[in-house]
Chain A
C-alpha cells in the first residue's frame, strides 16, 4: 500500500514493473555527465548577451563599436544586423482570429518590453571577457511607462506593449456549453470567488543554453541545446536560420532538469545558431542564474473569477469563470499562454459538471515571458475547482468528502466526455477518493482535529481529486507538431541492441525505463541494450519529453519497434529451426521450437553476416524505425463545438493532507500527506516514486516558499537563489503514495506519471490550510501560502499576535 519496498532486482534482464537501478547513474555520480557547459570544442568562443535594464522602452540607438574593439572580442551583433540573416519567429496560429499575430527576432528591434530582453550580443574568448565587452555597448533607451499586472494592463489608456494592437489583450477565448443560465437560475446558491495564482518558475538547476557549430564547407549546422524537444527545436532553427532541416542537427546533452521550462524555443537558442553561421568558431551561451531567474521563463500567474451554482445537497450545477492569464512578454514559441488554454479544459476537474462557461484573456505585461512548468496550466484549474468544492461544502454544511462523492464523475461510461470534449479513460474516481480517505484515516483525523481545536491548535484536513491529461497533442497550441513518437531499434550483428527514441530525458531515467521495455520484449539483459535520446541525428523525428508523455508515447514506440524486431527474428529463427513462426517461443534470449533452439545473437549474426541463412523474401539486417500514434487526440478544437481532446490518455489521483498552522508565525507544518496515484502500468516503481516525491517537493515549494516579485516599474526583484527560495533538506516531508495500476488502452497500458503530484498537491495543501484557519475566519483564495503571507492574512482577519505563544512545532 505504501511506497514499494526497497527490493532492487539484480536479475540481468529487467522487466516492466521491476525496481531496477538506473543505468545512467554511474556517470552522474562520478562527475562524468556531459551537460551543455561541459562540452569542450577546440576554439570554442563565448556569447554574452546585453539585456534591457528597463521594462519598457523604445530603442533609439545601439552602438557596439567599443565592444568590438576590446581585446578578446571576436564580433558583436545588434538586432537590426542579425535580422538581416534571419527569418522571424511567429506563433504559427493565424487560424485563431482572437490571437494577436506577432513576429519577433532573437534580439530586440525598435523596442524592449521586459527587463532582461536580449538587445545585443558579443562573442569573446571567455565568458569573463564577454561580460567586460557588454559593458562597453552603448544603448539609448527612451523609457516608456510599464504595466506589470493584468488589471492595469487592461485598463483604458494603459500603456500598450504593441502600439498596433487595440489593447494588451493577446488572446481572447470564450466558450460555453450546456445550459449555464438555466443552471444558475435553478440553483439554491452561488459561490463567487476570486482565486489568484502567483508567479513562480521551474528553476532547473541548469539554465537553458546552446552551443552552435556551423561547417561552411558542408552547410551543416550542429546545435547542442539544453532542450526538452530537440526535433521540434531543429524545425524552429531551420525556420529562423533558413538552413534546410536536413542540414541541421540538434543534440540535447545531459540536462540539469527541464520541468517544462525548457519546452519552449528560446531566442537565445536561435541567437547562438545564427551567430554560429556568422563567425568562424563554435560558440556557446548558457544562462547563468540571474538570466535564468529574470529572463528565461516564468509560470502560473493567473486570476480566476469564478461563480459556482450549487444545490443545497452539495451538487454543483454549473461553473462560470473569467480567467486572466498574465502572459508577460509574448515573444516565446510555443506561445506562453498555452498553459492558460489548458487550464480552461480542466476547470471542472474530476467532477460531473456539464454546464460550463469560460472567458479567457491572456494579457501581455512588461515582464519576463510566461510558459510551461510541470502541470502546464492544470495546477491552476485543479486548485480553483478543489477550493470551490470546499467552499460549496461550507455553504451547504456538508462534509467536503461527501460533497465530492456527490459530484465526482461516475464510474460509467468510459470514456467520459468532459464539457470541453476531453475523453477520460481512467479508472474509478470514487474508488480513489475512498482510498485517499482511508489512507489518511479520515474519521480519526477529524476526531484528532476536534481535540486539537479544543487545545487551541490549528489543525486542518484537506482533500483533493485530479483528472490529468497526459501525452497531449500540442498541435492546437503550436500550429504544428503532433501526438506521436518515433523510435528506432537496431540489433547489431553481435546481438547487442541500440534503442533510439525521440523523447529527451532530463533526469527521469529514460535510459533505464526504455531498456526495461526492450528487455521485456526481446528477452535480452539490460546490459545488452543501449538507449539514446535527444539527438535529431539518430531518429527521424520526435516530440520530446513534456506533458508526462514519455512512458506513454516513447514507450509505445519502443514496444512497437521491439515487437517488430522480435517478429522478424522469430521468422528467421523459424526458418532456421524448420518450424512455423507460431511454434517458436523466445525466452531468456533463446528462440525455441520443441527441443531445438537458436540464440538471439546467432539470429543477429545471420541477419548481417550469413545472409544466405535468411528465409526467402527477408531483407538483411535487424533495424526498424517506427512511429506510434495512438490516435484520439485533437490537433485543433472542433470548429463547431470547440471541443478538444487534449491527452492521448489520462491519469487520475486523489489526495488527503493534514497540516498544522502556527497562527503567530504563519508557518505551516505538513503532518501527513498521501496521494493515491494511478498512472497505469508501472515500469520502474523506484523511478516512479522518485518522480512523485520530486513533483511533490516542487509543489511544496510553490505553495510555501517560492514567489517571483516585480517592482511597480517592472524590475524583477528575485534575481538570486537567496531571493527565490526553493525547498531544501528538511523542508519536504516524504509523501505517502498508494499506487493503482488501471491500464490504459494504449500500447503497454501506460499513463503519464510525472506531473500528478505537482498538480494536486497545492490544492490539497490549500484546502488543509483553509480548514486549519477556519476558526479564525481566514479564507484561502491564493496559491501563495508562505509564512509571512499567511500571518498577514491572519492579522487582516483581526487575529492579534500572542507574543508569548509557545515554541513553534
Chain B
C-alpha cells in the first residue's frame, strides 16, 4: 500500500505492507534509525515519535496509519551540528544519558511534556516520563535535565518577549 505523510517537515511516500509497524517504516524505509526498538509491546518508550505533535509508541502503530500525518522523530530535533535543542543540551549538561538507547525517546517525551506543561514539578516530571524506561542512568539525572531545560526554555522565552 502506498502511504503519504510528512516526516520532520519533509514529504515522504512509501509502499509498505499493512503489517509493517510505523517503527520499522521510519527505521528501514526512511533510514531514520534514531528511533529504537526496545520491546515492541509499548512498554519501554524507546520507539517514541510525535504524530501531529503528540507522543505515541511507533511500535504500536502501523505504518499505513501514518497517512496524512506529520511525524517528528529525533532527527527532527535541534538544528544540526552544534545546535542542540535546550532539552538535548540539558541532557548533556546533567549526564542524563549513558548508552543512549533510550535517549531519543526520552528527549521527544520531555520536549512534548514541556510544551504542554512548561513548569512541571519533579513529581510531575516523573509521572509523565514514567512510560520511558532507562536501564543505565537511574533516572535522577534525567529529571535534573528536564528541570534545567524547563528553566532554560522559560528564560529564553522571557528573553524573546523582552526583545
Give residues in A with beta carbon < 8 Å to B.
Answer: 6, 8, 21-22, 24-35, 37-38, 40, 126, 128, 203-206, 254-257, 259, 288-289, 506-509, 686-687, 689-690, 693-698, 720-722, 726-735
Contact = CB atoms under 8 A, between A and B. Distances in A.
Contact of A730 (B35, B82, B95, B126): B126
Contact of A22 (B37, B73, B95): B95
Given A507-B98, A694-B98, A728-B133, 18 more contacts: A21-B92, A22-B92, A28-B97, A30-B34, A30-B77, A31-B104, A38-B33, A40-B31, A205-B36, A205-B46, A205-B101, A206-B38, A289-B39, A289-B40, A507-B136, A694-B136, A730-B127, A730-B139
Nearest to B84: A29
B154 interface: no
A31 B74 contact: yes
Contacts of A730: 123, 126-127, 130, 139
Contacts of A727: 139
Contacts of A33: 34, 100-101
A94 to B, nearest CB: 37
B101 A720 contact: no
B98 A509 contact: yes
Size range of the chain B interface in the assembly: 35 or more
Contacts of A255: 99
Nearest to A44: B28
Interface in B42-75: 43-44, 46, 73-75
Nearest to B108: A31
B29 to A, nearest CB: 11
A722 B40 contact: no
A28 B34 CA distance: 8
Contact of A697 (B20, B37, B126, B137): B137
Contacts of B107: 29
A693 B31 contact: no
B150 interface: no
A701 to B, nearest CB: 9
A30 B20 contact: no
Interface string B17-38: 1011000000110011111111
B136 A257 contact: yes
A720 B39 contact: yes
27 contacts: A6-B94, A21-B93, A22-B95, A24-B100, A28-B100, A30-B78, A31-B32, A31-B35, A35-B36, A35-B101, A38-B27, A128-B19, A205-B38, A205-B46, A205-B99, A205-B134, A254-B100, A256-B99, A289-B38, A687-B95, A694-B138, A698-B138, A722-B43, A727-B139, A729-B139, A729-B142, A730-B130
Nearest to A684: B95
A257 B99 contact: yes
Contacts of B97: 25, 28-29, 507
A289 B40 CA distance: 7
Contacts of B44: 205, 721
Contacts of A687: 95
List 9 A-B pairs, minimum CB-CB distance, nearest first: A31-B34, A28-B100, A507-B99, A256-B101, A697-B138, A507-B98, A31-B74, A693-B138, A38-B33
Interface string B74-96: 11011001101000100111110
A29 B91 contact: yes
Nearest to A6: B94
B6 interface: no
- Identify which of A25, A254, A695 gathers the most chain B CB atoms within 10 Å of its CB: A25
A593 to B, nearest CB: 38
Contacts of A721: 38-39, 41, 43-44, 133
Contacts of A731: 139
Contact of B36 (A206, A288, A693, A735): A206
Nearest to B77: A30
Contacts of A722: 41, 43
Contacts of B134: 205
Given A205-B46, A205-B101, A690-B95, A29 B88 contact: yes
B99 A732 contact: no
Given A128-B17, A729-B132, A31 B33 contact: yes
B149 interface: no
B102 interface: yes
A585 B44 CA distance: 53
Contacts of A28: 97, 99-100, 103
B93 A8 contact: yes
A434 B126 CA distance: 34
A727 B132 CA distance: 10
Question: Chain A interface mostly helix, strand, loop or mixed?
Answer: loop
> Which residue of B35, B81, B141 has the most chain A CB atoms within 10 A of its CB atom?
B141
Nearest to A28: B100
A690 B32 contact: no
A12 B139 CA distance: 29
A46 to B, nearest CB: 10
A690 B97 CA distance: 9
Nearest to A206: B101
Contacts of A693: 137-138, 140-141
Contacts of B3: none
Nearest to A3: B140
Contacts of B37: 37, 288
A291 to B, nearest CB: 11
A28 to B, nearest CB: 3
B114 interface: no
Interface string B95-125: 1011111111001000000000000000101
A8 B132 CA distance: 27
Contact of B135 (A34, A259, A689): A259
B2 to A, nearest CB: 18
A687 B97 CA distance: 10
B92 A690 contact: no
Contacts of B34: 30-33
A38 to B, nearest CB: 4
A479 B143 CA distance: 45
A29 B84 CA distance: 8
A321 to B, nearest CB: 32
Contacts of B94: 6
A479 to B, nearest CB: 30
A312 to B, nearest CB: 42
B12 to A, nearest CB: 16
Contacts of B19: 128
Of listed B37, B73, B91, residue having the most chain A CB within 10 A: B37
B118 to A, nearest CB: 19
A729 B135 contact: no
Nearest to A202: B135
Contacts of A31: 32-35, 73-75, 104
A170 B140 CA distance: 42
Contacts of B43: 720-722
A33 B46 CA distance: 14
A287 to B, nearest CB: 11
B136 A30 contact: no
Among B46, B91, B95, B103: residue with most chain A CB under 10 A: B95
Contacts of A506: 99
A732 B75 contact: no
Contacts of A735: 138
B41 A686 contact: no
A33 B129 CA distance: 22
A732 B95 contact: no
Contact of A257 (B81, B84, B101): B101
A205 B135 contact: yes
A506 B40 CA distance: 22
A288 B40 contact: yes
A555 to B, nearest CB: 18
Given A30-B84, A257-B135, A690 B36 contact: no
Contacts of A289: 38-41
Contact of B100 (A507, A695, A726): A507
A204 B142 CA distance: 18
Contacts of A126: 28
- With most chain A CB atoms within 10 A of its CB, the pick from B27, B77, B98, B140 is B98
